[in-house]
Chain A
Amino acid sequence: ETGVTQTPRHLVMGMTNKKSLKCEQHLGHNAMYWYKQSAKKPLELMFVYNFKEQTENNSVPSRFSPECPNSSHLFLHLHTLQPEDSALYLCASSQGQWGQNTEAFFGQGTRLTVV
């Protein structure tokens, strides 16, 4: 069982819909991430939260809205998406402070298709 759980695993939505992706981690980590993985492209970091505070926002369009109510949960709210937003969205968590066990643990991803 993975320590990072993402729901849903697959999502098909129209361009006018509003949906949310959920990520939950049970590893006691204090940093959480959203990544976008499109075909033939490297992973793109979207947002980073450290101790519930957003520390990175890599010029992500406002149609993607993150929410981190606590260190264990991370959401990505989606609205008025474009077909080019279709991708695999990966959530990850890690220890926020440098030290041992500093790798990021990933969820299984949400495969999003915008029609």
Chain B
Amino acid sequence: AQKITQTQPGMFVQEKEAVTLDCTYDTSDQSYGLFWYKQPSSGEMIFLIYQGSYDEQNATEGRYSLNFQKARKSANLVISASQLGDSAMYFCAMREGPAGNQFYFGTGTSLTVIP
């Protein structure tokens, strides 16, 4: 079974609007971490936001927030006030703890921001 599932291959959003990128995960561990990365066309993977499985509040980092629904095993990324520079691939990832070294990645969502 896939550890991380991203069901939206491509998304479009109008500049200044908010957009939600979906991510569901599969693990039997109680302790795990969820991550979102952005990959522009240059190739570099840029870390955006982290949510720990025991964190009670949703993580936020500037315009990024993570909508964490533990019972549904979902960790959706919300980008508010989209900018043209947000156009990129976005990857959801999970690390199983406490000793897990592997990061499992989804297939990614290509986001295009329309002026």
A residues with CB within 8 A of B = 2, 31, 33, 41-43, 45, 48, 50, 55-56, 88, 90, 92, 94, 96-98, 102-109, 111
A43:B95 contact, CB within 8 angstroms: no
A50:B101 contact, CB within 8 angstroms: yes
> Using Cβ atoms and an 8 Å threshold, which residues of chain B touch A50?
101
- A103: nearest residue on chain B (CB-CB)? B47
Shortest distance in angstroms between A5's beta carbon and chain B's nearest beta carbon?
Answer: 11
A-B contacts, 7 listed (Cβ < 8 Å): A56-B102, A88-B43, A98-B98, A98-B99, A104-B95, A104-B103, A108-B42
Shortest distance in angstroms between B59's beta carbon and chain A's nearest beta carbon?
Answer: 11
A-B contact count (CB 8 A): 62
Q: Report Cα–Cα, A41/B6, bound state, in Å.
A: 12
Judge whether B56 is part of the interface by a CB distance below 8 angstroms: no
B105:A42 contact, CB within 8 angstroms: yes
Q: Report Cα–Cα, A45/B104, bound state, in Å.
A: 8
B47:A55 contact, CB within 8 angstroms: no
Q: Report Cα–Cα, A69/B18, bound state, in Å.
A: 46
B106:A42 contact, CB within 8 angstroms: yes
Known: A42-B108, A55-B101, A104-B103. A109 touches B44 (CB 8 A): yes
Q: In the complex, which residues 34-56 of chain B have their Cβ closer than 8 Å to any Cβ of chain A?
A: 35, 37, 42-47, 50
- A88: nearest residue on chain B (CB-CB)? B43
Known: A98-B31, A102-B50, A103-B35. A108 touches B44 (CB 8 A): yes
> Using Cβ atoms and an 8 Å threshold, which residues of chain B touch A103?
33, 35, 47, 50
A43:B43 contact, CB within 8 angstroms: no
- B105: nearest residue on chain A (CB-CB)? A43
> Using Cβ atoms and an 8 Å threshold, which residues of chain B touch A33?
101, 103
Q: In the complex, which residues 77-115 of chain B have their Cβ closer than 8 Å to any Cβ of chain A?
A: 91, 93, 95, 97-103, 105-108
A111:B43 contact, CB within 8 angstroms: yes
Q: Report Cα–Cα, A94/B99, bound state, in Å.
A: 12
B50:A56 contact, CB within 8 angstroms: no
- A89: nearest residue on chain B (CB-CB)? B43
